[in-house]
Amino acid sequence: MWEKLAMIVVFFCVVIGVGVYTRRHASTVDGFVLGGRNVGPWLSAFAFGTSYFSAVIFVGYAGQFGWKFGISAVWIGIGNAVLGSLLAWWVLGPRTREMTQRLKAATMPEFFGKRYRSRALRIASAAIIFVFLIPYTASVYNGLSRLFTMAFGVPYEVCVIVMAVVTCVYVVLGGYMATVVNDFLQGLVMLAGIVAVVAAVLADNGGASQAIVALSQVPAEGTSLQGAFTSMFGPDLVNLVAVVILTSLGTWGLPQMVQKFYAIKSGPAVKQGAIISTLFAFVVAGGSYFLGGFGRLYAYQIAYNGATPVFDSIVPTMLSNLPDLLVGLVVVLVLSASMSTLSSLVLTSSSVLTLDLLKGNVVKKMSEAQSLGWMRGLVVVFVTISAAIALVQYHSTITFIAQLMGISWGALAGAFLGPLFWGLFSNRVSKAGVWASFACGVGLTVGNMVVPFLGSSIVAGAVAMFVSLAVVPLVSLVTPAVPFEVAPPSGAGAIDREYRAELAATDTPAFDSEAPLEKL
């Protein structure tokens, strides 16, 4: 117990120390939100990966989908690496960085507002982000706290409060740079930890060959396929594909993920970051789902709700028999993943609320110092709200982490994927197309939550993303497009003229078209 506690104390000291060390980078709005747009490929790639994979993946999704699909759940990790990481960096990375710098956009709502010249779109997207990031944040608390309860016997409420306080401290102190530096250190722990855990669980079951043999003898419900849980595509290919789409394509429309492309420092860094991020995803996501695929071997040890397994208990049960030192490493692993995801979520939410909802709308004139104060204060508010919801959720009927994440990812990516993608690559997008995507993404997800006409939140989220990609160009064909030069203008003078035109159209009425560009 003392060894495990010592590892946790050292971890907390390191993350808070990083917050103190990086506080000088958080003295301006641009520094607090984006690290001055000068973050290197290693920090950016690890920030992307650790924001992507948290206790939601390691505990919730690995447990639930490993149980349902067996070894074929590894396809989810492969999809996360190829579609969710590599292609996201290759396709979105360079364009997002270039266009957000041209428009001087620090958040996704600000990009929508300036790209489509609409203050209403900016406000609406900010409201969607605030509302639907909360359930995702609550799910991060949930998965982490279950592991703490398994390892230390600490009450759930204590875990939530401690995690909330530590996150507040280092994000308030160092902003974006504190999160990415901590993400890098935490990512190293995740890489080492997942390899050690997979090896230990396989050894606990007689080695890889013996574990696969044992799993092949477990019958699968609803199919006559022999050895379904060790087959290439598992017992339920349709739902497996839906999970791959939700967890992989979803990163293309999530504000906390896309924001990593705003802050990276150069074109070559984007290419390097793509490779690093992909390799990270192969190890962490692939390893997590591979581990979860053996969950059926622990069928007589896990908790049940009637005849239904408590999916969030599967991975903690698999780890409960490991040596104390390795259990401590697992707790630090999941703590690392969860803290990095939580810090990214709260930073995204606080910056969106301050810059896109309050500034210019509620507070008409907000100085840079006031903006920083508001963002720091809202970090605390957002963490407090999400922690409170996590505590309420723990005793409610929504008991599975995957449900919360599916609702959040489905609504956000379903609303934003189409407007972001087409906004980066086409000048034939209309405001009506963007509004249609917002309505479909939120409507499908919330509607399915009330009346599950599409089945699970996973399927609803995947459908919402495809609808978003389709509805934006279709509606834009019959409605007036917002004129915009998508390709970079040639020459500094052209860049200056376009930037001035965007500011004149979207910013304050007192815009001075003759002022020096650097003052704008």
431 lies in some domain: no
Decide if pLDDT at 162 tops 90: no
CATH of the domain at 64: 1.20.1730.10
496 band by pLDDT with thresholds 50, 70 and 90: very low
CA-CA-CA-CA torsion sign (391, 394, 398, 403): positive
Encode 480-516: b = buried (16+ Cβ within 10 Å), e = exposed: ebbebeeeeeeeeeeeeebbbebbeebeeeeeeeeee
Contact 174, 376 (CB under 8 A): no
Residue 2 buriedness (CB in 10 A; 0-12 / 13-18 / 19+)? exposed
515 lies in some domain: no
Secondary structure (DSSP) of 346-359: HHHHHHHIIIIIIB
295 band by pLDDT with thresholds 50, 70 and 90: confident
472 lies in some domain: no
**Distances in Å between the alpha carbon of 421 and those of 96, 207, 466, 493?**
9, 45, 12, 27
392 lies in some domain: yes
Quick one: average pLDDT of 136-162?
Answer: 71
DSSP secondary structure letter of residue 232: S
pLDDT at 235: 85
pLDDT at 466: 92
Decide if pLDDT at 419 tops 90: yes
122 lies in some domain: yes
The residue range of the domain holding 205 is 2-397
Structure tokens at 480: 């007036």
> ∠ at Cα 72 (71, 76), nearest 5°?
115
119 lies in some domain: yes
42 lies in some domain: yes
Total domain count for the chain? 1
477 band by pLDDT with thresholds 50, 70 and 90: very high
418 lies in some domain: no
Residue 80 buriedness (CB in 10 A; 0-12 / 13-18 / 19+)? buried
Decide if pLDDT at 508 tops 50: no
DSSP secondary structure letter of residue 91: I
pLDDT tens-digit readout, 237-258: 888 888 888 889 888 999 888 8
pLDDT at 406: 66
pLDDT at 517: 40
